[in-house]
Chain A
């Protein structure tokens, strides 16, 4: 009889009983609706133990990889500890490197704490030690690098970003929690065409995901579209052009809304560029990061152009200019 641990208490799961039924029988009412594995209301995570594969049917690969499952169709085969969140240790680390990538984006490299594991494309929550002001930043590094890289955009009136630009110095200590996020590459289907689209510092997670994809030896074509209002807002162009030159299956395409696009680039509305450039997007796996309205428009457009919902991964950024 498997034991289910939830919020520090143990519950015994009877033979042929689902996790949802077990919890309900013990008076723990998890949110649920269809009770048939369709609506995903009861999705929860196995913090320890492995959920049976049939309890993960219909979930995105990134959720499966993090041991999320549907409680209503999960008959556990062994002990499990379940919950929605994991409590992150508080990591205190030093800033190793700080470099302007363009006039409004700075690259930070932080010490990577021992025992800190993540997937390229996930984010961390960075705290300013003096007052615990907290903001989320995507990791631009890959899991095999010995530092953590962030790209921070200076937001007008932004408390955190202005401090990062003007106050934070190499050698200073910062604190973070994490990682979190569902926008990352899961190895498999090596022939699948990939489309990565980012606006502004939406390039940060994509820079990690892209290099992860290349490290895994992905074989299918990989299109990276980095969009900005105008050419000065683009960054990492030399690095991305070098990656493009070294990898036959990669094409890097800088995109601008206004003014002339750099060589090999496209001028236009980024929400429409993927289908204009590639036609049907059926069979693609797509990663979208950046400003929420643009990410939402892109999500709808790539779906209408043929990409399956299961293959669209996105990370809309939220900026906090006025608090």
Chain B
């Protein structure tokens, strides 16, 4: 069975998805303070890694990296509500790219599995 990553069109499609996803996140005033002052190119690369992972593409994901990478944001107040916003942006990004509902649910459940690591619990 092919992954969502392959069905989307692999690396090039993820590149396009990052633009759509990151633009939604930066335009959301509820969460965009967590992205203030970060290097946009590096942030886009991280999001590409994340989207590759949640769509089942080649990755080397570790919960530890996710935990370490978000600790400073948890100190700034990152919580479940912010995480939900990001999931929502992920869902609408995939819908915009024409991914079928069943596959979106699969991707969201993978993303959901990172919640405890991201929120450092």
Binding site for B on A (CB under 8 A): 33-41, 57-58, 296, 299-300, 303-304, 308-310, 312
* B6 interface residue (CB < 8 Å to A): no
Measured between alpha carbons, how far is A300 from B18 in the docked complex, in Å? 14
Tell me how many residues of B have a C-beta within 8 Å of chain A. 26
Residues in B neighbouring A41, C-beta threshold 8 A: 45
Please, could you name 10 A-B residue pairs with CB atoms under 8 Å apart, sorted by A?
A: A34-B58, A36-B59, A36-B60, A37-B58, A38-B14, A38-B58, A57-B12, A58-B48, A299-B40, A303-B40
Asked whether, in the complex, the Cβ of B11 is within 8 Å of the Cβ of A34, the reply is: no
- Interfacial chain A residues near B65, Cβ < 8 Å: 33
User: In the complex, which residues of chain B have a beta carbon less than 8 angstroms from the beta carbon of A37?
Assistant: 11, 58
Interface presence of B46 (CB below 8 A): yes
Query: In the complex, how many angstroms separate the beta carbon of B56 from the nearest chain A beta carbon?
Result: 11
CB–CB B11/A309 < 8 A: no
User: In the complex, A39→B19 CA distance in Å?
Assistant: 15
Interfacial chain B residues near A304, Cβ < 8 Å? 23, 26-27
A312 to B43, CA, bound (A): 14
- When C-beta atoms are compared, the residue in chain A nearest to B44 turns out to be A309
Is B23's CB under 8 angstroms from A39's CB?
no
When the two chains form the complex, which single residue of B15, B22, B57 contacts A36, counting CB atoms closer than 8 Å? B57
Where chain A touches its partner, the secondary structure class is loop
Which single residue of chain B is at the shortest CB-CB distance from A43?
A: B45
Closest to B19 in A: A308
- The docked-state distance in angstroms from the alpha carbon of A124 to that of B22 is 33
From A40, A299, A303, B45 is in contact (CB under 8 Å) with: A40
| CB pair B27 A34 closer than 8 Å | no
Give chain B residues whose Cβ lies under 8 Å from the Cβ of A312.
Answer: 40
Q: CA separation between A308 and B19, bound complex, in Å?
A: 6
Considering only residues 20-77 of chain B, those with a C-beta below 8 Å from chain A are: 22-23, 26-27, 37, 40-41, 44-46, 48-49, 52-53, 57-61, 65
Instruction: State whether B26 touches A300 (Cβ < 8 A).
Output: yes
Q: A300–B15 contact, CB under 8 A?
A: no
Q: How far is the CA of A310 from the CA of B11 in the complex (A)?
A: 14
Given the complex, which residues of B lie within 8 Å of A33, measured CB to CB? Answer: 49, 60, 65
With both chains docked as a complex, state the minimum distance between the C-beta of B21 and any C-beta of chain A, in angstroms. 11
Query: A308 — nearest CB in chain B belongs to which residue?
Result: B19
B15 and A58 form a contact (CB under 8 A): yes
A303 lies within 8 A of B52 (CB): no
Assembled-state Cα–Cα distance A35/B60 (Å): 6
Asked if B48 contacts A38 (CB within 8 A), the reply is yes
CA distance A303 to B61 in the complex (A): 28
| Shortest distance from the beta carbon of A58 to any chain B beta carbon, whole Å | 6
Shortest CB distance A314–B (Å)? 9
- Across the interface, name the chain B residue whose C-beta is closest to A182: B41
Other than the known A35-B59, A35-B60, A38-B59, what 8 A-B pairs have Cβ atoms closer than 8 Å? A36-B52, A36-B57, A36-B60, A37-B58, A38-B58, A39-B45, A57-B11, A58-B48
CA distance A300 to B45 in the complex (A): 16
Q: How far is the CB of B18 from chain A (nearest CB, A)?
A: 7
In the complex, which of the residues B46, B61, B65 has the most CB atoms of chain A within 10 Å of its own CB atom? B46
Q: CA separation between A37 and B58, bound complex, in Å? A: 8
Q: Say yes or no: B49 contacts A309, CB within 8 Å.
A: no
| Complex Cα gap A36–B10 (Å) | 11
- Distance in Å: Cβ of A56 to nearest Cβ of chain B: 11
* Complex interface: chain A residues within 8 A of B27 (CB): 304
* A39-B49 contact given A33-B60, A308-B19, CB 8 Å threshold: yes
Indicate if the CB atoms of A34 and B19 lie closer than 8 Å: no
Q: Quick check: A58 and B11 within 8 Å, CB to CB?
A: yes
Distance in angstroms from B64 CB to nearest chain A CB is: 12
B46's partner among A39, A58, A300 (CB-CB below 8 A) is A39
